[in-house]
Amino acid sequence: MTQQIAESLAEEVQPDSLSIGRRIRFFRKQRGMTLSDLGEKVDRAASQISTIENGKRETSVTLLTALATALDVDIADLLDPTPVDGRQALELEAERYQASPMYSSLGLPQVRTKSLPHDALEAIVGLQRQLAEVLARRAATPEEARRANRELREKMRARNNYFPELEAKAAELLDLVGYRAGTVSQRQTAMIAEKLGFSLHYVSDLPKSTRSISDTVNKRLYLSNEDAAFDPRSHMLTALAQHVLGQDSPKDFREFLQQRVEANYLAAAVLLPESAAVPMLTEAKRKRELSVEHLRDMFGVGYEMAAHRFTNLATEHLGLPVHFMKVHTSGTIHKAYSNDGLPFPTDPLGAVEGQFACKKFTSRTVFGVADRFSPYYQYTDTPAGSYWCTARVLPGGDFAISVGVPFAHVKWFEGRESPIRSRSGCPDPGCCRQAPEELAEKWASQAMPAARMHASLLAAVPPGALPGVDDTEVYEFLERHAQ
């Protein structure tokens, strides 16, 4: 190892307690001082100096200044993150890897690098680098998709899932067609397309991998005939959102997810306008009659969109922390959001999507309810506190949507009188992931089930700028319709 390696490592790392501690140790030994000697000069115990040198304790500016004086160096010498030699570069790199979430998730013991022979230290660092490279090469894998989802969910939580810039864009679009109150009609959404210069074309040969296709040269928006038979507003507005927001082809999966969230948000903000939805929700809260069903019926949208929109507005305008889940009948979480502390299951990367929701959660128990017409309400006691939720199984029966709040805020909602209560112990495996002991003892050695494996389980995220979209089909479609 050379000083070049040490300097290249410093380019990526800012000074931290670990690099500062190792600098202090280097200069102390260079001066021939023991821990006790240095401790006496700065009025600290030798054990405290050792803790600082091992990077396990941050130092104040005052103490750092005193240590620099005692060691006869400038304070900048202690703050310089550049390793003093190749050996220290290896030690710092190894210890930073061991402090990472990735290493912690492996359940491996911490290695004391100071006492390792040089060749052993080089081998450990080499293995750590190879592991990091393998993880980096998973750029288009389900792991990367879950990581990107986690980061996006954290951004949404930081803003309480409310984006004023998108609300303003939605208000501008509604002003174009003279919207004042009530449901946004199909005619008004079609007029938005016209005002933006697009003509609408319903076709029977839209590629199966797409919901819509925009011909940006001829200003044509192609939608499926199937949409025309139901409610085309959402898909139309989502497609137009890409142009309104100036979105280009995404450079990576993170950007793809960000664009999708923004387009869906804008479509919902048009169909459930802030100017009309907030007064309605505020009045419902005053009457203690908050209900996702009322929001859905007032604006003529699907339950999922109404539930999403409620999370946009609940914290910002009603002061309510909330959570949302879309769960498959198998128990797999497909979408999730919370700012109320509900303990979602996560993988080692911190991702929620793809994990199994607790069987005691409302989003799971609702699948067992025979009445799919009426709202379902349930209280759930969790290690993080008690929560109230309302849930509904979507048409088709494959997915359920649940929206809920902590117990302290249930007084504002319809359904608060529900007598149904469950208790979740998750993430404790004994809650619902482990079979009861008696059953396990009887059957564990005799059962050989055949798993129903999803075809996409081992596949990478489909390639292309827009994952899952067949570019050839899209271009052939546009070629046919451009004639």
Residue 98: the pLDDT is 80
In percent, how much of the chain has pLDDT > 90?
37
**Are residues 332 and 457 in contact, defined by beta-carbon separation less than 8 angstroms?**
no
Structure tokens at 352: 């929620």
Instruction: Using alpha carbons, list the distances in angstroms from residue 147 to 112, 150, 286, 326, 343.
Output: 30, 5, 40, 18, 18
Per-residue pLDDT band for 37 (boundaries 50, 70, 90) equals very high
In percent, how much of the chain has pLDDT > 70?
86
Instruction: HSE, CB side, 13 Å, CA atoms: give it for residue 365.
Output: 18
Checking if the pLDDT of 458 tops 60, the result is no
Per-residue pLDDT band for 467 (boundaries 50, 70, 90) equals low
Helix (H, G, I), strand (E, B) or coil at 226: helix
What average pLDDT does range 268-286 have in this prediction? 95
Instruction: Using alpha carbons, list the distances in angstroms from residue 292 to 6, 234, 425.
Output: 58, 18, 27
Beta-strand pair 220-224/376-382: unpaired
- The number of helix segments (H) and strand segments (E) in the chain equals 21, 9
Checking if the pLDDT of 460 tops 50, the result is no
Checking if the pLDDT of 46 tops 70, the result is yes
Per-residue pLDDT band for 128 (boundaries 50, 70, 90) equals confident
Q: How far apart are CA 20 and CA 73, in angstroms?
A: 13
- Terminal Cα distance for the chain, rounded: 65
Each residue's pLDDT tens digit, 437-450: 887 777 777 666 66
Q: What angle do CA 168, 174, 180 make, to 5 degrees?
A: 110
Q: Which residue has the higher pLDDT, 207 or 321?
A: 321
**Are residues 401 and 328 in contact, defined by beta-carbon separation less than 8 angstroms?**
no
Residue 429: the pLDDT is 79
Residue 422: the pLDDT is 94
Checking if the pLDDT of 280 tops 70, the result is yes
Q: How far apart are CA 475 and CA 482, in angstroms?
A: 10
Q: How far apart are CA 333 and CA 401, in angstroms?
A: 10
Per-residue pLDDT band for 175 (boundaries 50, 70, 90) equals very high
Checking if the pLDDT of 81 tops 70, the result is yes
Helix (H, G, I), strand (E, B) or coil at 380: strand
Structure tokens at 104: 């912690």
Q: Which residue has the higher pLDDT, 446 or 436?
A: 436
What is the spatial order of strands in the sheet that 212-215 belongs to? 199-203, 220-224, 212-215
Q: What is the mean pLDDT of the chain?
A: 84
Checking if the pLDDT of 214 tops 50, the result is yes
Checking if the pLDDT of 425 tops 80, the result is yes
Q: What is the largest CA-CA distance in the chain?
A: 87
Each residue's pLDDT tens digit, 362-413: 999 999 999 888 899 999 999 999 999 999 999 888 899 999 999 999 999 9
Alpha helices in 13-141 (DSSP H): 17-30, 35-41, 46-53, 61-71, 75-79, 86-98, 101-105, 118-136
**Are residues 198 and 220 in contact, defined by beta-carbon separation less than 8 angstroms?**
yes
pTM, two decimals, is 0.66
Residue 399: the pLDDT is 93
Give the range among 16-30, 178-192, 371-385, 464-478 with minimum mean pLDDT: 464-478
Each residue's pLDDT tens digit, 320-339: 999 999 999 988 898 899 99
**Are residues 151 and 253 in contact, defined by beta-carbon separation less than 8 angstroms?**
no
Structure tokens at 44: 């600290």
Q: Residue 113 carries which DSSP code?
A: G
Per-residue pLDDT band for 277 (boundaries 50, 70, 90) equals very high
Q: How far apart are CA 310 and CA 303, in angstroms?
A: 10
Q: How far apart are CA 340 and CA 263, in angstroms?
A: 25
Structure tokens at 117: 């022979």
The string of DSSP letters for 75-108 reads HHHHH--S-SSHHHHHHHHHHHHHTSHHHHHTTP
Structure tokens at 152: 């996006």
Each residue's pLDDT tens digit, 297-315: 999 999 999 999 999 999 9
Residue 170 exposed, middle or buried by CB count within 10 Å (0-12, 13-18, 19+): buried
Q: How far apart are CA 281 and CA 294, in angstroms?
A: 9
What average pLDDT does range 132-140 have in this prediction? 57
Residue 455: the pLDDT is 44
Residues composing the chain: 483
Q: Which residue has the higher pLDDT, 283 or 123?
A: 283
What average pLDDT does range 87-97 have in this prediction? 83
Q: How far apart are CA 105 and CA 122, in angstroms?
A: 22
Q: How far apart are CA 161 and CA 164, in angstroms?
A: 10
Q: Which residue has the higher pLDDT, 142 or 458?
A: 142
